[in-house]
Structure 1
Amino acid sequence: MLLAAGLSLVGAAAALAQPALTGRVISAVGAGDPLLPAVAALVVVLVAGAVLNAVQSYVLQRTGEGVVLTTRRTVADRLLRLPVAEYDRRRTGDLMSRVGADTTLLRATVTSGVVEVVGSAVVGVGALVAMVLVDVWLLLVTVAAVAVGMTVVVLSSRRIRALSRRAQEEVGAMTAAVERALSAVRTIRASGATAREVRAVGASAERAYRAGVSVARVEAFVAPAGSIAVQGAFLAVLGLGGYRVATGSIAVADLVAFILYLFLLVMPLGQAISAWTQLQTGLGALARIQEVLVLDPERDDVAEVGGATTAPRRPADGVPLLELDDVSFAYPDGTQVLRGVSLSVPAGSRVALVGPSGAGKSTVLALVEGFYPLTGGTIRWAGTDVRELPRAALRAQLGYVEQEAPVLAGTVRENLLLAAPDAGDDELWAVLADVGLTAVVQRSARGLDVPVGDEGVLLSGGERQRLAIARSLLSRPALLLLDEPTASLDARNENLLRETLAAAAADRALLVVAHRLSTVLDSDQIVVLDGGRVVARGTHAELVETSPLYRELATAQLLV
């Protein structure tokens, strides 16, 4: 930016020299003096000015791209580090729009002439000084005409920032509508809702269009107002200047020089109008970007309490690996999910969470991962409050497989290496064999590099589930958190997975959420949740005898 401003100043000096040199050429012609020196000087100044403008344009364009790059990196970094609760409150498409469309407007702000205004201001001031020296009366006419136009421009452009921000918000809403439709396109097609979704996206695009037209309407009014002021000043100077030449008050060469200086004054005014308008648009986009940047990223609690710096893989004798002590949790809207939940997971054990839908089972896993702050109670890892451990260190000891089993776009290899980037091919094939995916990968000649499609669309539901489990096993966690691991598996693969989990439990603990009780019959402890509370705990045989709710669930699944 400083380099561009410096080039703008040098270019301003070259521009200011041109009218004076032009007047010298005209005077030389009238006096019969040699033309070559004056013409050569004018040509040199013209060429130098053109080269400076070209270099300055490149510097500005490169700077604009740099601003966009830095801003996109900063915004993307913040977006990926926000607390999970923020993603629950915001639409993904709108957040994507802030990284794409909003940051692009910043480039236009940088390259639209904001920096050039520095040099233009010098040109304008220099032109005014030169015009005073040529003829004061012509200057007064010029200033009067330009002042009227500039007043109209400033008053009109005040609305541009607010309108531009609204337009960007509508673009973000449209992007969110498209993202929503594309993420569920198969469901939409199967439901016969394609036409309705097309209309919904179209309506969102229409709102973005109307907001954009509102900005264009104001911008379209600003440009003619400035143009009328400039043309009025030019006509007034021609009329009055012609009269003063006719009366002998000024020479023709002085009038020509004054008109050239007028053009030099007009140029920065035009750039200022354009830069001001673009700046208002950029500030509207910047406000949306700032909305994300002011959000606090997810922080390690240990930074606040000054506790330990590592998460032990195994606890001391007699201490559970994981312990929930009177844990409560409520969403910001006041919805209570967990009420005084207490449970423990000893090292090397298998603990299952069962209960009806909405009992809070998945929330327990989310709290263990630190996705949400506790409303009450304590979670301990190997006897240490998790708030005294860095989240990254704790999560390195956890393997988490969500209920939806997300698979990232890319290849099988890329998905497996997500949590274990240094794993070798032998380890990858071994973990695929553990979850029964070897044959699936061998169907393609590309092997581990076979693509899985966007969100794993090229895999079946069960294959996505097993790939997610393989990814977690590969990182060798001390505790494996599984949310409905067999929800998408057939009976054959469920048995295979049960054998895999039994083998995995030999050197790690398991905390499993399950609706399908057959998956957790052999667990060391089954915890029954209902209404956010622990209502029973024990083995399968014990709970069938002591817990009416568990007995009801087991009977419904023909396990009693």
Structure 2
Amino acid sequence: MTVTTKTEASAERAADSWDGELRILRELFRPGNRLQMAVIALLAAVSAAATLALPLVVAELVQQVQQGQGLTRAALLMIGTGLGSALAGALAAFLLSRLGEQLVRRLRITTMRRGLAMRLSDAKAVGSGDLATRLTADAMQLKGAINIGPIQLPMAAITLLGTIVIMGVLDWVLLLITLAGFVCALAFVAVVIRGLRRTYQNMQDDIGTLTHQFITALDALVVIKAYRAEERVGRTLDGHARRLEKLGVDAARMESLVVPVINLGQQIALLTVLLGGGARLVSGDLALPDFVAFLLYLLQLTAPLIMAASGAAQIQAGLTSRQRFNDVFALPVEDLAPAAAEPARTAGGRNTPGPAPAVRFEDVTFGYGDEPVLRGVDFEVPAQGLTAVVGLSGAGKSTALALIERFMEPQSGRVHLFGEEAARLPLNELRGRIAFVDQAFTLLGDTVRANLSLGLAAVPTDEELYAALAAVGLDTSVRALPDGLDTVLGGAHDLSGGQRQRVALARAVLAEGSLVLLDEPSSQLDSVNEQRLRQIVDTLAEDRAVLVVAHRLSTVRHAAKVVVMDRGRVIAEGTHDELLDSSPAYSELVSAQLLSGAAAPAARSTKEVTA
């Protein structure tokens, strides 16, 4: 088995991505691609030269026919020139397309990695669907611009310019007649291209919005079905699709006019050239071979014009997509560089907690925009033992956990982790000392093994994995899956909500951070598994800090310390029994069964509360 070191992995990531603004030409002509781009440019030049030479070869063939000479040499030259032009153009197009695919691959990798590394607030603001659209529609638009922009469009311009020059050499009077027929057409095309850029921008934005709305609807499909809201949600999605259709029709309307207008300009020019050329032939001012060559150049003139017009439209779409990528690349990302002395996270390799509190909040304030969530919060979590945070919904409990993980930064005040200010710790080091179970008990769409070993430097053995699963009562269920630990979760082999939560708990057990954060861990557990959870938490709390956001009384009663929060403030701290005596707010929570969730009323006692 091939082993990839961290250095090799970093080098591979660097080769597959880039930092800073996306510049298409800079990426295509970077050092590793310059020779290939030179070959592509040479092949494209050969194709353009052969295209320009072909009418002259035909003119020579006509001249030989007039003079009664042999046609073999001219015919072979004509065939060879045509084949050379086609082969050189095809090879150049293939090589450029291959380079484009490589650039798009690096672009997708960069987008995905930056998406994973960006701040949670920015990721939510952009939206998962809009980010996904950049990997699909935007990437394809950019690929189309790469295919035609760097080489083919310049070669079309060179072919166009060369054709006009040769036509002027053959007969400048007919050239003026030709240009007069095309001027109005070209002016119209320029106006269309400017309008297309605005339309493409709106289309890409709307594709992102539609994708995000559809992904959100699929994530909420159970609720949609439960409330019979398929029709209502469908109408909302239909509205986005219809707006996208309208923009697409507007773009198609403008694009559909480009080729006919150019062809109309060619037909007008052809008619006037035939009339003017016939007159010049009769007067002797123009030879027949030159007239034939001029007509061929006139017919050939539309190809580079159409390529230039359609290419300009594709480039407008590509530039719009490039800007959308740059908008993502401009967003700040978290600094995930490993610390110099960062201990590896392995199963069983927990860093021993020191004497300082595991967590200390000092006058911490945080809010979303103008809406405050935490107001001057102060509390400590001991280096060992179970600490529970309780309070009504919206009290700021989960926000406090997010600040510990530095998913967000406090607006004022400080958060300390094991005696060090969290803001000064490298993120990898900080998060390497924390095991986290979120409210949604999130799992990846990957194997059970991959989910359990998430964040570990070395993959635990099967015995270690099953031991962790046994601790949460899930080893038998996982063994029964089609591929055991290697079963991919999701689809036909998904787990129930409670089972997924237990996998997330087993992952926290394996991570063995010095601090364990549990956000409502018993929300989907039955009584048997809730008891098992309490045993796991008690075991974890023997030699590390466990901070749990709790709603059940059974969890709180086992806590060495309880922190009561209300409307973003800490209003009381102490043990369960102490708070029953000293905190009316806590007593009200217990009496109302907001912690236990049981149906029967709870008796208030300093020694025992019966749920």
Instruction: Tell me the residue number matched to 1:121.
Output: 157
Contact 1:349–1:505 at 8 Å: present in 2 too? yes
Instruction: Tell me the residue number matched to 1:535.
Output: 571
Q: In 1, distance between residues paired with 2:44 and 2:342?
A: 55
Quote the offset at 1:404 in angstroms: 1.4
1:395-442 per-residue CA deviation (whole Å, 9 max, x = no partner) reads: 011011011111222332221122225211111001001111112213
Instruction: Tell me the residue number matched to 1:328.
Output: 365
Residues 344, 308 of structure 1: alpha-carbon distance in 2 compared, 3 angstrom cutoff = farther
Quote the offset at 1:445 in angstroms: 4.5
Q: In 2, distance between residues paired with 1:86 and 1:34?
A: 74
Quote the offset at 1:509 in angstroms: 1.2
Contact 1:320–1:346 at 8 Å: present in 2 too? yes
Code of the residue aligned with 2:470 in structure 1: it is A
1:264-305 per-residue CA deviation (whole Å, 9 max, x = no partner) reads: 3332111111111111122222222222121111236x99xx
3-state SS of paired residue (1:372): coil
Query: Of residues 524, 536, 553 in structure 2, which corresponds to 1:500?
Result: 536
Instruction: Tell me the residue number matched to 1:284.
Output: 320
1:4-50 per-residue CA deviation (whole Å, 9 max, x = no partner) reads: 33321111111122111111111111112232222222222122112
1:481-536 per-residue CA deviation (whole Å, 9 max, x = no partner) reads: 00001111111111111111111222321011001121121211111111111111
Code of the residue aligned with 2:285 in structure 1: it is S
Q: In 1, distance between residues paired with 2:103 and 2:299?
A: 32
Quote the offset at 1:446 in angstroms: 2.4
Q: In 2, distance between residues paired with 1:298 and 1:316?
A: 27
Contact 1:322–1:346 at 8 Å: present in 2 too? yes
3-state SS of paired residue (1:158): helix
Length, aligned pairs only: 553
Quote the offset at 1:113 in angstroms: 5.5
Contact 2:354–2:383 at 8 Å: present in 1 too? no
Instruction: Tell me the residue number matched to 1:439.
Output: 476
1:336-386 per-residue CA deviation (whole Å, 9 max, x = no partner) reads: 111111222222221110111111111110000001111111111221111
Instruction: Tell me the residue number matched to 1:389.
Output: 425
Contact 1:113–1:274 at 8 Å: present in 2 too? no
Instruction: Tell me the residue number matched to 2:114.
Output: 78
Contact 1:308–1:388 at 8 Å: present in 2 too? no
Q: In 2, distance between residues paired with 1:468 and 1:172?
A: 31
Q: In 1, distance between residues paired with 2:493 and 2:543?
A: 33
Residues 489, 316 of structure 1: alpha-carbon distance in 2 compared, 3 angstrom cutoff = closer
| Structure 1: runs of 5 or more not aligned | none
Residues 188, 316 of structure 1: alpha-carbon distance in 2 compared, 3 angstrom cutoff = closer
Query: Of residues 77, 84, 90 in structure 2, which corresponds to 1:54?
Result: 90
3-state SS of paired residue (2:332): coil
Identity of aligned residues (%): 38
Contact 2:200–2:320 at 8 Å: present in 1 too? yes
- Determine whether 1:195 maps to 2:231: yes
Quote the offset at 1:309 in angstroms: 6.1
Contact 1:8–1:118 at 8 Å: present in 2 too? no
Q: Which moved more, 1:145-154 or 1:281-290?
A: 281-290
Instruction: Tell me the residue number matched to 2:299.
Output: 263
Contact 2:353–2:514 at 8 Å: present in 1 too? no
Runs (4+) of structure 1 exceeding 6 A deviation are: none
Instruction: Tell me the residue number matched to 1:423.
Output: 460
Instruction: Tell me the residue number matched to 2:335.
Output: 299
Code of the residue aligned with 2:317 in structure 1: it is T
Instruction: Tell me the residue number matched to 1:552.
Output: 588
Residues 178, 316 of structure 1: alpha-carbon distance in 2 compared, 3 angstrom cutoff = closer
Code of the residue aligned with 2:178 in structure 1: it is T
Q: In 2, distance between residues paired with 1:413 and 1:217?
A: 53
Residues 73, 90 of structure 1: alpha-carbon distance in 2 compared, 3 angstrom cutoff = same
Quote the offset at 1:537 in angstroms: 0.8
Q: Kindly report which structure 2 residues correspond to 1:69-468, keeping only aligned pairs within 5 A, or say none.
A: 69-112=105-148, 115-299=151-335, 310=342, 313-314=351-352, 316-317=354-355, 319-331=356-368, 333-420=369-456, 422-453=459-490, 458-468=494-504
Quote the offset at 1:150 in angstroms: 0.8
Code of the residue aligned with 1:388 in structure 2: it is R
Q: In 2, distance between residues paired with 1:244 and 1:386?
A: 87
TM score, norm. by length of structure 1: 0.94
- Determine whether 1:517 maps to 2:553: yes
- Determine whether 1:21 maps to 2:57: yes
Residues 432, 506 of structure 1: alpha-carbon distance in 2 compared, 3 angstrom cutoff = same
3-state SS of paired residue (1:520): helix
Residues 345, 457 of structure 1: alpha-carbon distance in 2 compared, 3 angstrom cutoff = farther
TM score, norm. by length of structure 2: 0.87
1:305-327 per-residue CA deviation (whole Å, 9 max, x = no partner) reads: xx98648944544x212221111
Quote the offset at 1:118 in angstroms: 1.8
Quote the offset at 1:260 in angstroms: 1.7
- Determine whether 1:484 maps to 2:487: no
Quote the offset at 1:556 in angstroms: 2.8
